[in-house]
Amino acid sequence: MKTISIYDTTLRDGSQSEDVSFTVEDKIRIAHKLDELGIKYIEGGWPGSNPKDMDFFSRVKSSNFQQAKITAFGSTRHPNKDVKNDQNIKNLIEANTEVITIFGKSWDMHVNEALSTTLEENLRMVKDSVSYLKDNCSEVLFDAEHFFDGYKSNPEYAMKVLKEAESAGADWIILCDTNGGSLPSEVGKVCSLVKSFINTKIGIHTHNDSELAVANAITAVQAGVEQVQGTINGFGERCGNSNLVSIIPNLKLKLGLNCISDEQMQSLTDLSSFVYELANQAHWNHQPYVGKSAFAHKGGVHVSAIKKNSATYEHINPKLVGNVQRILISDLSGKSNILSKAQEYGIDIDAHEPKIKTILDNLKSLEQLGYQYEGAEASFELLMRDALGKKEYFFDFVGFRVIVEQRGEDEKPISEATVKIRVNGVQEVSAAEGIGPVNALDKAIKKSLSKFYPEIENVTLFDYKVRILDEKKGTQAKTRVLIESGDHDSKWGTVGVSENIIEASWQALIDSVEYKLNSFQKNRKSK
């Protein structure tokens, strides 16, 4: 089986994304995760460009990696400067990495306008830099920047640049679609020509400005390229880099090429989430292979089919990349959705149970009113258990009140909530202050119930989303509130809908508490 070398530049190119920033500790943690995934090269940054990258290379020396090679990145020497005295080259050597990657210009326009030098001097810059670095480290990669645009402009010169890098001893020559404007047909044709022109191993580095980065990388591999460069989740400058999270399973599962092991690929979903979290970015639910929605099924026809054979609507087994199949609940649901969710929730229900129709009717009526259960499956489980007579009731709602008070022009408003509930016939009244009305309500509910059910104290509100359902009604519009709550073991979503945002929030909060108590009781009985 042919092996494709994977080169990750999340820590360098990925961190150039407008909304991404990693600490040195983040970068070291990500590097170890990439190593565990089986990545061959990890580009750590550009030594000398900023203190953070200098610190990374200093600290990463004490780390042990199973197979990954930490790589320093930089440019060729400056025009008309001795390579031995070039500070950029010195910084690369001082990083003391086993591998160094440098980029050089292969587009004549860039040489003339960006570097303001001659085409001949640029060729000398490439040869001098690669040759000198090769004498000071074990492996040198040459990134031919803007190669595809350079080839279109002046193919003879672009090829000369590659020849200079090869003659200087480069171990890899990487063809870069730096502006991300090339088409797969162009990339495939040019890669085939380069493959016949030089003997050095070649790689591909693509950007996503035309939404073609992954397609271009795969096409390049099919044309003979042996290394693919990219980032986790496609992070990168402008529209991003080629997404290794998509490229790796495409190479392995679709083309049958070796790049990482089967076991390592099962951690792909976790790695994607890990990098999103350290980058403080929202997860892309619809991301191919690893997204929350990648193997989610909503339509009743789809659900019925995948329960018979998942291949009917899934192009791979989600477990291969560490993902899971999900059955969604909505007004498009059918009997198969209900049965599948019942099985997921551990509810014993017969396929001919008449109450299934009741659940479906309730679901469709509630969604007509604005409820949505795709992100609030805890609320749906409560609805299902209630319809089947399997829901336990731990308290009765009596009432609540929320006061928001502004005491001074420069002071922040104070929110106070009072909650009245009844537990086993005993009425409990609790008040709490919060940084907002929902926070105050959340605190007051827990204050009322925790003395009866101490497990409530472990519940935390993680996320709060508001959606205006009928904007034309202005302040009288109906509002949907989605809340994500959780404890030490799991997270769950609940929903509330009302013209009053506080009431909608209350509904979602109460569902969250009821779900926790029902789950706790169910788990205790199972033990």
Which of 314, 285, 309 has its CA nearest to residue 297?
314
Q: What span, in angstroms and rounded, lies between the C-alpha atoms of 194 and 200?
A: 10
What tens digit of pLDDT does each residue of 343-383 get? 888 888 888 888 888 888 888 888 888 887 867 888 989 99
DSSP 253: I
Both tokens assigned to 117: 């030098």
Q: What is the Cα gyration radius of the chain?
A: 29
Q: What span, in angstroms and rounded, lies between the C-alpha atoms of 517 and 452?
A: 11
Residue whose pair of structure tokens reads 């980032």 in the numeric block: 231
What torsion do the CA atoms of 28, 218, 234, 199 make, to the nearest 10 degrees?
50
What tens digit of pLDDT does each residue of 197-211 get? 999 999 999 999 999
Tell me the CA distances in angstroms from 416 to 363, 405, 436, 459, 505, one per residue in order.
34, 8, 8, 20, 15
Residue whose pair of structure tokens reads 């994304």 in the numeric block: 17
DSSP string, 109-125: HHHHHTS-S-HHHHHHH
pLDDT at 527 over 60: no
Reported pTM:
0.72
Which of 258, 339, 32 has its CA nearest to residue 11?
32
Counting Cα atoms < 13 Å in the Cβ hemisphere of 209 gives 11
What tens digit of pLDDT does each residue of 406-447 get? 877 778 888 999 999 999 888 999 999 988 899 999 999 999
Check for a shared fold between 5-260 and 353-391+458-527.
Answer: no
- CATH number of the domain at 5-260, please? 3.20.20.70
Three-state secondary structure string covering 66-105: CCCEEEEEEECCCCCCCHHHCHHHHHHHHCCCCEEEEEEE
Given CATH 3.30.160, say whether it is the number of domain 395-452: yes
Query: Can you give the residue ranges of every domain in the chain?
Result: 5-260, 353-391+458-527, 395-452
Percentage above 90 pLDDT, the chain: 65
Both tokens assigned to 482: 């989605």
- SS3 (DSSP) at 494: strand
Average pLDDT over residues 246-262: 97
What tens digit of pLDDT does each residue of 152-184 get? 999 999 999 999 999 999 999 999 999 999 999
| From the candidate CATH numbers 2.102.10.10, 1.10.238.10, 3.30.160.340, 3.40.50.300, the one assigned to the domain spanning 353-391+458-527 | 3.30.160.340
Written as one letter, the residue type at 460 is: T
Counting Cα atoms < 13 Å in the Cβ hemisphere of 259 gives 31
